[in-house]
Structure 1
Amino acid sequence: MLLTGMLLLSILLRRLLQGVKQQWRKRVLNRWRPLLMASLYEHPESLPQLSRFDLPDFLALWNHLHASLGNEARGSLNRVAGALRVPAAASLMLRQRSFERRLLAVRTAGNLRLATAWDALCALLESDSAGMSLAAAQALVRIDAPRAGQLLIPHLIGRDDWPAQRVTEILREAEAEQVTELLVKAVTGASPERTPRLIRYLMEFAPAEAAPIIARQLASPVDDGLLKVSLQALNDGNELESVRLLCRHANWHVRVHAVTALGRLGTHDDNTLLTGMLGDSQWWVRYRAARALSLLPGMTVGELLRIKDMQTDRYARDMLHQVMAELDLQAGLKHV
């Protein structure tokens, strides 16, 4: 009974505390949102004092507006933040124990381009938390993009927990020419298990620089993982001969990506090779070969039917039948 009573009391206190926090947040937003919105049009002559108790909720609102508005409006928000001594407060928050407050301070430092926070942000770049380290990376890029680029690329190699989409967003804020140069150097010296990730980033920023690297991987393969990524990224018809050879690779995962690349880049003459792949021992290879056949330039429904009727392998016929049914369904849905 005593334990049950203590548990109920704990739940009640937690709910009461949550209610108090919500009311406090509402009061802060009601006080500061109109002032911040008004500052976008005219810098206020005077501002109320920002208490340390209101600071976290104020910064959450300020950063939200910063992310939602254009450059001119951000300048107005930064002037208000300066008048309220937010830069000094954010610098202190970077060293607090609370994870949420430090994360809020990191975002604030980046949006303010707070150069004095550089060392603290570099330390947080090493955080075990992917969210914290990525936020620190973005803040560093916003403060000094050329200097930050030198720091970020080594982390791209070692941080498997950084989502590729977030990394791409951050790199887009850096200087494209510098990022490309650093990525090319990183790809050249990276281990086989790290290279695929870097090739994907390089394709995002500089497909022309990525092309010769991909060509080398296809011509002299050293790792199946690299081959798969290179085939996925390939967008150059000059490498078709290498792709055709890889359709016979011992690893069926590589064969899947090779026939898919043929469907994307191949010529009508590749129909013979792809027709042969319909008899592959792996279902996914047969399926991708059938899809690739349907995508070849000049391929018609009549020719697909002819190829299907010529097959003596039941699995090859069934696969072409399935893909043609999917194409019919897709065509029907487009007209709904």
Structure 2
Amino acid sequence: SSPEAGHSEQAAESDLYPELAKLKDPFAVLETWNYLHESLDGEATAGLNRFAKQIGIPDIVHSMLSSLMIDRKLLAINTLGNLGDRDGYDAVAPLVDDRDPIVSYWSWRALVRIDVERALSETLVKIEERTDWSPVFVAEILQRIDSDVLSEPLCRLVLDAYDRELEERQMSRLISYLAFAHIFDSADVITRIFTETDQKEVLIACLRLLPDFEPALRPRVREMIRDHRWEVRLQAISTLSRFHEPDDLPLLLEALDDQEWWIRYRAAGTILDLPEFAENGIEPLVNRLPSNFARDMLRQVAAERSLICFKPKPQTLSR
């Protein structure tokens, strides 16, 4: 937008809100108010909200939602989210469908802050539909939501998306968000998808979250160590490393000869975590290994773990 348009917008906003207009930089006040609001909680934020209403902030930010200047629009969206005003929900809701992913994402964040249950009911599907939203940003919002509120609708969304054969990349993202659901809600969803799918990214997402209390799934995990896709093999070994089962040793020794360096490295670390070798050392095993690949990797990882930076630091007692 042109400088003239920006000046005219600011003048109009100043005329409408004389309390803010008295300030040298009213937008700096809004930025500071938001910073304080997200740094505090409890009664302190309630006091900030009372202050905001006294100087007309709710009215000015409603008008800023239609601003052509992206920074002001985002500032208005965030302010309404922090105010938690139910009137602000209806004003922000249409912006979730904005073409700009930044505007739409910040709008969804604001809706969750204003009314989390309504936002989950009406807009949770956006985390599936908006492929332009960063999964890191989505996870940041989801982890702040009470699992008691989030778990059931999130699991339902993931299962429904799977039944509709959602595209692989986005499906794997949805599964990864199940980390923020209750494990007893998500376990059945993950189990079903893991046992049925052959999509690489979906399999990897399931392997990362596979519940430890489902021993019936471990044979399929072991099958994945011989998968033709190295990324799946790597994640399968990482999943097995959580179980610490001596019976997995033959598979792990086989993985020590894998063509992929990372798989050999992860297999060596998993072997060293087995109780037998954690207590007795690895030399007897190293001498039995058939290849230099396997011997070198096992010795390398063992040497790394002997370094001081890999050893747990002793606790310092307070005086």
* TM exceeding 0.5: yes
Query: Given residue 166 of structure 1, which amino acid in structure 2 is its aligned partner?
Result: F
Q: Give the Cα separation in 1 of the matches to 2:230 and 2:182.
A: 29
Aligned: 1:217 with 2:193: yes
Aligned: 1:263 with 2:234: no
Equivalent position of 1:137 in the other structure: 108
Q: 1:136 to 1:281 in 2, by over 3 A?
A: same
Q: Is the 8 A contact 1:278 1:289 kept in 2?
A: yes
Deviations 1:218-243 (A, max 9, x none): 33333111111111122315122221
Q: Is the 8 A contact 1:145 1:175 kept in 2?
A: no
Q: Secondary structure at the match of 2:68?
A: coil
Q: Give the Cα separation in 2 of the matches to 1:128 and 1:95.
A: 14
Single out whichever of 48-57 and 110-119 deviates more from structure 2.
Answer: 48-57
Mind listing any 5+ residue stretches in structure 2 that lack a counterpart? Answer: 1-17, 315-319
- Computing the radius of gyration from Cα coordinates, the structure with the larger value is 1
Q: Is the 8 A contact 1:114 1:143 kept in 2?
A: yes
Equivalent position of 1:161 in the other structure: 132
Aligned: 1:279 with 2:257: yes
Aligned: 1:196 with 2:172: yes
Q: CA deviation at 1:92?
A: 0.6
TM-score, length-scaled by structure 1: 0.79
Query: Given residue 49 of structure 1, which amino acid in structure 2 is its aligned partner?
Result: E
Q: CA deviation at 1:335?
A: 6.1
Q: CA deviation at 1:101?
A: 0.8
Q: 1:335 to 1:101 in 2, by over 3 A?
A: closer
TM-score, length-scaled by structure 2: 0.83
Equivalent position of 1:102 in the other structure: 73
Q: Secondary structure at the match of 1:235?
A: coil
Equivalent position of 1:55 in the other structure: 26
Q: 1:60 to 1:335 in 2, by over 3 A?
A: closer
Query: Given residue 86 of structure 2, which amino acid in structure 1 is its aligned partner?
Result: A
Q: 1:257 to 1:56 in 2, by over 3 A?
A: same
Mind listing any 5+ residue stretches in structure 1 that lack a counterpart? Answer: 1-47
Q: CA deviation at 1:333?
A: 5.7
Equivalent position of 1:90 in the other structure: 61
Q: 1:252 to 1:171 in 2, by over 3 A?
A: closer
Deviations 1:68-96 (A, max 9, x none): 12220111111111111211111111111
Q: 1:172 to 1:152 in 2, by over 3 A?
A: farther
Q: Give the Cα separation in 2 of the matches to 1:230 and 1:75.
A: 41
Q: Give the Cα separation in 1 of the matches to 2:51 and 2:311.
A: 53
Aligned: 1:231 with 2:236: no
Q: CA deviation at 1:332?
A: 6.4
Query: Given residue 195 of structure 1, which amino acid in structure 2 is its aligned partner?
Result: M
**Aligned residue-pair number:** 290
Q: Give the Cα separation in 2 of the matches to 1:122 and 1:128.
A: 14
Q: Give the Cα separation in 1 of the matches to 2:142 and 2:313.
A: 40
Q: Give the Cα separation in 1 of the matches to 2:238 and 2:142.
A: 29
Equivalent position of 2:50 in the other structure: 79
Query: Given residue 304 of structure 2, which amino acid in structure 1 is its aligned partner?
Result: E
